[in-house]
Structure 1
Amino acid sequence: MKKFIISIDQGTTSSRAILFDLKGKPIFTSQLEFTQYFPRDGWVEHDPEEIWKTTLKVLKEVIKKSKKLKGKVLTIGITNQRETTILWDKKTGKSVYNAIVWQDRRSSEYCKKLIKLKKETIIYNKTGLLIDAYFSATKIKWIIDNVPKARDLIKKKRLLFGTVDSFLLWKLTKGVDHATDATNASRTMLFNISTNKWDDQILKILNIPKEILPTVKDCAADFGYTDPSITGSSYPITGMVGDQQSAAIGQCCFETGSVKSTYGTGAFVLLNTGSKKVYSKNRLLTTIGYRINGKTTYALEGSIFIAGAGVQWLRDKLKFIKKASDTEKITKQLDTNNGIYLVPAFTGLGAPYWNVNARGILTGLTRDTGPKEIIRATIESVAYQTYDLFEAMKNDGLKPKLIKVDGGMVGNNWFSQFLADTINTSVLRPKVNETTALGAAFMAGLQIGVYKSLDDIAKNWKVDKGFSPKIDSSVRKNLIQGWNRAIKKTLS
């Protein structure tokens, strides 16, 4: 009988479930997009009920497929958009407010207040994170302060908080298990990454009650069982990991110094720093890479807010392209970028600038500038932003030898080559591009003994294509100088 692992990958724009064989090969995928709500400038929300319904639907499809293939599902892993915040009623399972998404900036003013109160050092030292509206803590606070129902439920000891993984676990187990894993916890700005516990001092500063928080487990752990009334049979859930860390696991970045960069809606670079926490002097985040058997492996992370989202903008708002894959063909038609740069600061700038108020600019325009140049500038901007992250890592004394890439954008060979040229580092693209979902499947399999160790998991990683830097160093220098000038204009 064939054996499978299911991975639930609940992302920012869609919910997916993927059926993997035990070698980590994707056999079948079911995916559903869901609604993005933008109630005000800088606000981004999802409907938790829609997150749940789409997730359940794709999960059921995949279970059905496994039966058609006469196979057995051994276990389920969950990976998710991190930081996105849901508060719900323990008794009814109903959320008190929409999910506040990681991209949401509504708590920026409160963050400024915390910085004024000189709380930055204490929060950074304990959590590895900068005070920013990106993380869950100030989103939780906003809901408690602005939604009377939340305060009412706190009094009745009925309010629960979870990131999306935790919410889905609670739903799948029919309210039996309220837990999360160390990687998701490390992105809330409430979790002490040295003691591996929720931090009482930070909870007190923010006035968030500890009893609403989930139990924190390893990434490979016994999280609970799906209720048979929901999934037909009952399946164990034995892996859970936030999406970016999951991609690093899927890319088998288990050695200190190994790096992965995922190009999805945003882009995220994660560098494994082993058992050592590296605190960046260049505004990169210190975070938990994974925790297995109670042992924590740390990572340094840089986040770019706009990567694939820039391509969506070209398609949906400017109507320059019909589909994302058109960008490769168009970009190739130009010999150079003709001095056109786009800084896609649509929701501010992420690492290493962390400027909430920055807005996008397009610079170098002439009468000759047309859609092709703007499309190319959009694709190039993702490589330049990655270059900025690599420079920050270099300034922190870390120099990656090669980078493993994944996500929707890396199917574009032109982009992958331009990335290698810009960062002057070899770029490897894996055979299985579904690395985020794969990481959670690997963790789930590790817990039940399908894989004996991380080394055992690493045997499944295969390269699809490598890209080496090919451009002349003077050309690279000129391109980067142009980008630096554009960034200065954005920040001025």
Structure 2
Amino acid sequence: MSESYLLALDQGTSSSRAVLFDVRGVPVTSAQVSLAIQYPSDGWVEQDAAAIWQSQLEAMALLEQRLSPEQRQAVRACGITNQRETTTLWRRSTGEAFGPSLVWQDRRTASICAGWRSEPDAESWQRQTGLVLDPYFSASKIAWMLEAHPEARQALAADDLCFGTIDSWLLWHLSGRTRHATDISNASRTLLLDLEKLCWLPDVIERVGLTAAALPELLPTRSAFAVIAEGLPFAGTPITAMLGDQQAASYGQFCFEPGQAKCTYGTGAFLVVNGGLRPQRAAGGLLSTVGWSNTDGSTTYCIEGSLFNAGTVIQWLRDGLGIIRESSEVDALASRVESAGELMLVPAFTGWGSPHWDPNARGLLIGMTRDTAAPQIARAALEGIALAVTGLLRGAAEALGAPLNTIAVDGGAAASAVLLQAQADSAGVQVVRPANLESTALGVALMAGEGAGVLSDLGPIATAIRASSTQVSPQRDASERERWCRRWDQAVDRCLHWHGDGPL
């Protein structure tokens, strides 16, 4: 058993990674390839679909080169985790993508969603899917792409069109263009899936302009998805798990019981709370979503809150303002001051997700004085991410009817001590950070190991990882915390409806 390894393919918004774990959940080695993002217009976010696949392929090849022949032969299973909602249309016969992929952050379809929200069955649609009619999800992206690319409509008429989120796009290539499938966690982010029946919604499929033939096959999160095709790195390895990145991070943080919560601070920040074996109809702008399918055939559901910009805020400090040279320098800069004072940075660069769902919101830096300088801005940026997540935590606690006292965290920005202290202080919760922040890759690797029969009991792995975690406790008192959060709510209110025809 000690000679077995698990491969995780982690395709994110800013990079593609391949990570090798042993069966104790310990990372052995990894490879990462950066991925470009295009912003052709305000609110438009897109990526080249071929570049997504090539970056993942390159990461796999780099990783395979670092392994000994014995290690390569001992790779028992592969899992795929991915940026969710990002939408691709391609020609089945050739693999040619129709235009760029529309990234989950893309807001160009706001008018389509506004039209859908005005229709009589809008509430029923939202209830069936557990989501809101927002550009974040795949449905409106599909409708826009079919309108923008006549050749895609022609392919659709000829039954030569495939739709997929990134998991489907990767699987199609990894299988040698023989398997067009998705898992229920990614499908639950499209606005096309019935959350309770776990099947596609025919009327919605017709509304967005697709046909059933263009849809991927719908499979549980643990399945015999495919075998990596000959001629590719890790050829012959079975793909036994697929999981959206936020669900994979929850699994990698061992949030297996109702009420257990994690937040991943990646490109965005995403709070996911285990809601049990039935869909939780979350109110207050939070989402109901599929977590994963269990080994007994049941399904775990989650409540989710989504902040579209987190790590991108730190990148903006680096690339936009130039006040840091590397993202890792943000803590040192922010620590030059004990407080940001009245300065607040609302990170609504590409609109606001939970709970407002306002595609016309925009980022806001408010409270500047003549003394405002780079350290205050850096601290306000980190505090703004934490305060936004605190709003999600409060909404989730209200939906569950019980307080959330502990939150597990991961993702690149979770390396920031300033951010985590601000999270504990603003939410009044214990923040737990594992020594290894690769919870997303770990989660899908462990699930792949289960799917392949290599792993059966994750308890010892969870115990070992939790024993090495760092815990951050609140330092602000309750009255100070409430004042801080009220001030934050005022700042958020000022960023809403800024872009387009919204009220000023």
TM-score when scaled to structure 1?
A: 0.97
Given that 1:37 and 1:45 are in contact with CA atoms closer than 8 Å, whether structure 2 keeps it comes out as yes
What residue number does 2:500 align with?
A: none
| Aligned partner of 1:482 among 487, 495, 499 | 487
Q: Does the alignment pair 1:126 with 2:128?
A: yes
Given that 1:82 and 1:184 are in contact with CA atoms closer than 8 Å, whether structure 2 keeps it comes out as yes
Given that 1:5 and 1:74 are in contact with CA atoms closer than 8 Å, whether structure 2 keeps it comes out as yes
Given that 2:339 and 2:379 are in contact with CA atoms closer than 8 Å, whether structure 1 keeps it comes out as no
- Structure 1 position 267, deviation (Å): 0.1
- Structure 1 position 36, deviation (Å): 1.0
Matched to 1:34, the amino acid is L
What residue number does 2:395 align with?
A: 392
Within-5 A mapping of 1:28-47: 28-47=29-48
Q: Distance in 2 between matches of 1:244 and 1:233?
A: 27
Matched to 1:359, the amino acid is R
Q: Are the structure 2 counterparts of residues 338 and 249 from structure 1 closer, same or farther at C-alpha, using a change threshold of 3 Å?
A: same
- Structure 1 position 25, deviation (Å): 1.0
Given that 1:315 and 1:324 are in contact with CA atoms closer than 8 Å, whether structure 2 keeps it comes out as yes
- Structure 1 position 138, deviation (Å): 1.0
Given that 2:107 and 2:351 are in contact with CA atoms closer than 8 Å, whether structure 1 keeps it comes out as no
Q: Distance in 2 between matches of 1:76 and 1:310?
A: 32
Residues 39-63 of structure 1 show CA distances to partners (whole Å, capped at 9, x for unaligned) of 2221111111111111111112222
Within-5 A mapping of 1:64-75: 64-67=65-68, 70-71=71-72, 72-75=74-77
Q: Are the structure 2 counterparts of residues 456 and 137 from structure 1 closer, same or farther at C-alpha, using a change threshold of 3 Å?
A: farther
Residues 21-42 of structure 1 show CA distances to partners (whole Å, capped at 9, x for unaligned) of 1111111110011221122221
Residues 76-130 of structure 1 show CA distances to partners (whole Å, capped at 9, x for unaligned) of 1100000001111111111112111101111110100001113321111111000
| Aligned partner of 1:471 among 473, 476, 482 | 476
| Aligned partner of 1:76 among 78, 81, 95 | 78
What residue number does 1:242 align with?
A: 244
What residue number does 1:336 align with?
A: 339
Given that 1:89 and 1:96 are in contact with CA atoms closer than 8 Å, whether structure 2 keeps it comes out as yes
| Aligned partner of 2:256 among 251, 254, 257 | 254
Given that 1:42 and 1:105 are in contact with CA atoms closer than 8 Å, whether structure 2 keeps it comes out as yes
What residue number does 2:329 align with?
A: 326
Q: Are the structure 2 counterparts of residues 461 and 217 from structure 1 closer, same or farther at C-alpha, using a change threshold of 3 Å?
A: farther
Matched to 1:394, the amino acid is A
What residue number does 1:27 align with?
A: 28
- Structure 1 position 217, deviation (Å): 1.1
Aligned CA RMSD, in angstroms, stands at: 1.5
What residue number does 2:371 align with?
A: 368
| Aligned partner of 2:418 among 414, 420, 424 | 414
- Structure 1 position 232, deviation (Å): 6.0
Matched to 1:83, the amino acid is E
Structure 2 stretches lacking a partner, 5+ long: 497-503
What residue number does 2:53 align with?
A: 52
Q: Does the alignment pair 1:299 with 2:302?
A: yes
Q: Does the alignment pair 1:200 with 2:202?
A: yes
| Aligned partner of 2:266 among 260, 264, 267 | 264
Matched to 1:66, the amino acid is L
SS in 2 for 1:477: helix
Q: Are the structure 2 counterparts of residues 308 and 232 from structure 1 closer, same or farther at C-alpha, using a change threshold of 3 Å?
A: closer
- Structure 1 position 202, deviation (Å): 1.6
- Structure 1 position 373, deviation (Å): 0.9
Count of aligned pairs = 492
Matched to 1:313, the amino acid is W
Given that 1:451 and 1:457 are in contact with CA atoms closer than 8 Å, whether structure 2 keeps it comes out as no
Matched to 1:411, the amino acid is A
- Structure 1 position 460, deviation (Å): 5.1
Q: Are the structure 2 counterparts of residues 175 and 474 from structure 1 closer, same or farther at C-alpha, using a change threshold of 3 Å?
A: same
| Aligned partner of 2:279 among 271, 277, 282 | 277
- Structure 1 position 286, deviation (Å): 0.2
- Structure 1 position 461, deviation (Å): 3.2
Residues 312-355 of structure 1 show CA distances to partners (whole Å, capped at 9, x for unaligned) of 00000100111112111122221221210111211111111111
Could you list the structure 1 runs, at least 4 aligned residues long, displaced by more than 3 angstroms after superposition: 68-71, 453-461
Matched to 1:224, the amino acid is A
Percentage of pairs with the same residue: 39
- Structure 1 position 457, deviation (Å): 5.6
Given that 2:146 and 2:209 are in contact with CA atoms closer than 8 Å, whether structure 1 keeps it comes out as no
Q: Distance in 1 between matches of 2:263 and 2:391?
A: 13
What residue number does 1:87 align with?
A: 89
| Aligned partner of 1:179 among 181, 186, 199 | 181
Moved more, 464-473 or 175-184: 464-473
Q: Are the structure 2 counterparts of residues 456 and 120 from structure 1 closer, same or farther at C-alpha, using a change threshold of 3 Å?
A: farther
SS in 1 for 2:186: helix
Q: Does the alignment pair 1:403 with 2:407?
A: yes
Q: Are the structure 2 counterparts of residues 69 and 315 from structure 1 closer, same or farther at C-alpha, using a change threshold of 3 Å?
A: farther
Q: Distance in 1 between matches of 2:377 and 2:165?
A: 36
Matched to 1:324, the amino acid is S
SS in 1 for 2:465: coil
Matched to 1:317, the amino acid is G
Given that 2:194 and 2:200 are in contact with CA atoms closer than 8 Å, whether structure 1 keeps it comes out as yes
Given that 1:24 and 1:460 are in contact with CA atoms closer than 8 Å, whether structure 2 keeps it comes out as no
- Structure 1 position 68, deviation (Å): 5.3
SS in 1 for 2:444: helix
SS in 2 for 1:78: strand
Residues 198-249 of structure 1 show CA distances to partners (whole Å, capped at 9, x for unaligned) of 1112223333211101111111110010111223631110110000000000
Given that 2:5 and 2:71 are in contact with CA atoms closer than 8 Å, whether structure 1 keeps it comes out as no
What residue number does 2:19 align with?
A: 18
Q: Distance in 1 between matches of 2:334 and 2:484?
A: 16
- Structure 1 position 179, deviation (Å): 0.8
Given that 1:421 and 1:471 are in contact with CA atoms closer than 8 Å, whether structure 2 keeps it comes out as yes
SS in 1 for 2:7: strand
| Aligned partner of 1:434 among 427, 432, 438 | 438
- Structure 1 position 398, deviation (Å): 3.6
